[in-house]
Amino acid sequence: MNVLGIETTCDETAASVVASGKQILSNVVASSADLHAQYGGVFPELACRCHIETIERVISQAIQLADVSLEQLDLIAVAKGPGLVGALLIGMNTAKGLSLSLKKPLIGVNHVEAHLYASMMGLSEIPLPALGIVLSGGHTFLIKILDVGSYTPLSTTVDDAIGEAFDKVASLLGLPYPGGPHIEALAKNGNPGKYPFKAGQVKENPLDFSFSGLKTNVLYTIRKNPFKKEDIAASFQETAFLDIVKKAKKASQTFPCQAIFFGGGVTINQRLREMFEITFDSTPLFWPPKELCLDNAAMIAGLGFKKYIGISDPLDMEVKTRIPVA
């Protein structure tokens, strides 16, 4: 089965053709991140304009690179949320139009669940139950994976997502958006123990995350002391990641965890991967390939294949800015 995936949840316009949920025949991504850098974050109206201008070209390129015809597509999978409502509507309406004109079934996919599936796509068998960890610009949470499509939430962030915290600290240091790669690059030459930053703790659920206080801690340190950007970046990054690793360890001990699956743009960070590999030396860790860490349509097509059971979603399917993974 050839599945066309379409992803327009934020500032990436993406299309991909995936065969039988695993074999990526094409994966085209057009990002407008450079245009948003002057605003220090995603400017929704600008993102929508870019989607409108590029979506037809991106889909055509994905089909051409996959060496398939429109008639050889068997399913249209589209991200239905969460994300920016205007951006989601552009991808959804495009997918509906293709489904209607080509007489192909349509399936809506949870974009965040697809991030987790990105680390499962190449597996013939998924070890279960497993711990799922999503770390991105808009999401930070831990879940228990019982099966693809069956999850038990364990924790989330009560304020900033981890990627959002990176962007804000980068802004404090005068670094461009998106902040994650710039913080990581600076941290490689900094002292992670220079500043005793602390991540927030949530009394109601010790596994929940809170990065707002950590960000404020960085702000006050910058205001009061002479500092090296490299040391600030290294100390912030180490504190944030140590908090994630410790809570992931606690979560993995609450059930017979057979593996850990990661998803989201922050998982591309090499220091994060090193810390998990040291802490979980006897637990299989499954990271998404680097090209599937950030928003992409291959993960949408892959999960769409897994979700499709022969019944098409209706053409009046609506997008949702928030969808729980459960």
Residue 158 CA, chain-centre distance (Å), reads: 18
Q: What are the structural domain ranges in the chain? A: 2-116+292-307, 127-288
CA distance 274 to 269: 9
- pLDDT for 272: 98
**Band of residue 326 on the pLDDT scale cut at 50, 70, 90:** low
**Band of residue 238 on the pLDDT scale cut at 50, 70, 90:** very high
Residue pLDDT, tens place only, 291-304: 999 999 999 999 99
Residue pLDDT, tens place only, 254-281: 999 999 999 999 999 999 999 999 999 9
Could you tell me which residues come within 8 angstroms of residue 315 by beta carbon, excluding any fewer than 6 positions away? 96, 99, 100, 106
Radius of gyration, alpha carbons of the chain? 20
Which region holds residue 229: left if phi is over 0, alpha if psi is between -120 and 50, else beta? alpha
- Rounded to whole angstroms, the maximal C-alpha distance in the chain is 64
Residue pLDDT, tens place only, 198-236: 999 999 999 999 999 999 999 999 998 789 999 999 999
CA distance 152 to 134: 14
Q: What is the mean pLDDT of the chain?
A: 95
Q: 213: helix, coil or strand?
A: helix
- On the question of a common fold for 2-116+292-307 and 127-288, the answer reads yes
179-187 vs 229-252: helix axis angle to the nearest 10? 100
Residues 41-52 as b/e (b if ≥16 CB within 10 A, e otherwise) read bbbeeebbebbe
Predicted confidence (pLDDT) at residue 39 exceeds the cutoff of 80: no
Q: What is the pTM of this model?
A: 0.94
Residue 130: φ, ψ to 5°: -135, 165
Q: What is the pLDDT averaged over residues 69-80?
A: 97
Q: From the CB of residue 35, how many other CB atoms can be counted at a distance below 10 Å?
A: 15
Question: Token digits for 144?
Answer: 């228990």
The domain 127-288 having CATH identifier 3.40.190.10: the answer here is no
Question: Token digits for 205?
Answer: 């659920």
CA distance 131 to 15: 28
Residue pLDDT, tens place only, 118-146: 999 989 899 999 999 999 988 999 999 99
Class in CATH terms, 2-116+292-307? alpha beta
Q: What is the pLDDT averaged over residues 158-167?
A: 95
